[in-house]
Amino acid sequence: MQADIEEILVSAEAIKNRVRELGAAISRDYEGKNLLVVGILKGAIIFLADLVREIKIPLILDFMAVSSYGSSTRTSGAVRILKDLECPVEDKHLLIVEDIVDTGLTLKYLVDNLKARHPLSLKTCTILDKPSRRLVEVQLDYCGFTIPDYFVVGYGLDYAQQYRHLPDICVLKRDIYTNGQ
């Protein structure tokens, strides 16, 4: 496992500190509001689990799963809903929690789709932002770290469903994902 990693980009310690700050900001901003946190499966689950434990106000959790068509390291922009929300949203303030925003196509799709259901408000939260590859504009209301154009794994992020359990955010060795494609 360690042999597949080029470098640690964001350490577990740095993640922990930043997630605490994000949780504090969200707790302040949503005080007294009916908050629905929408986790995007599967990549956001580790971040989501840490983040909600740093949010000190009442909230409910729901999940969506989407698949982006394209190769294993690049999105095509076409998004399909694999699992939809179970809760109604009209009486709630929605916060979408994502793992990483790269081209922005996935998050833009989710924002447009959820806005059309008329929640009281809609904001976005991501642990990672890779702005250098953005194709569409999308507002990030809460962001953990801005990173360069590396393919990263760990802290929920996968390559071929592997590496999600690594506690740090790591740069994967290029030959791991260029071999066999």
| 8 A C-beta contact, residue 134 and residue 150 | no
Q: Is 112 a catalytic residue?
A: no
CA angle (39 as vertex; 128, 79 as ends), nearest 5: 80
Q: Does 113 bind ligand 5GP (CB under 6 A)?
A: no
Report the residue number, 30 or 125, with the smaller CB distance to ligand 5GP: 125
Give the x/- contact pattern for ligand 5GP in 6-25, rule: CB under 6 A.
--------------------
Q: Which of 50, 103, 114, 169 binds ligand 5GP (CB under 6 A)?
A: 103
| CA distance readout (Å), 81 to 67, 69, 84, 112, 132 | 7, 11, 7, 13, 26
What part of residues 21-80 is at the interface with ligand 5GP (CB under 6 A)?
43, 68, 75
Catalytic residue among 29, 50, 99, 102: 102
Q: Does 126 bind ligand 5GP (CB under 6 A)?
A: no
111, containing H or E segment: helix 105-115
| CA distance readout (Å), 96 to 93, 121, 125, 150 | 10, 11, 6, 23
Q: Which 3 state secondary structure label does DSSP give 98?
A: strand
Range in contact with ligand 5GP (rule: CB under 6 A) among 7-15, 21-29, 53-61, 154-162 = 154-162
Positions marked active-site:
102
Interface residue list for ligand 5GP (CB under 6 A) = 43, 68, 75, 98-107, 130, 151-153, 157-159
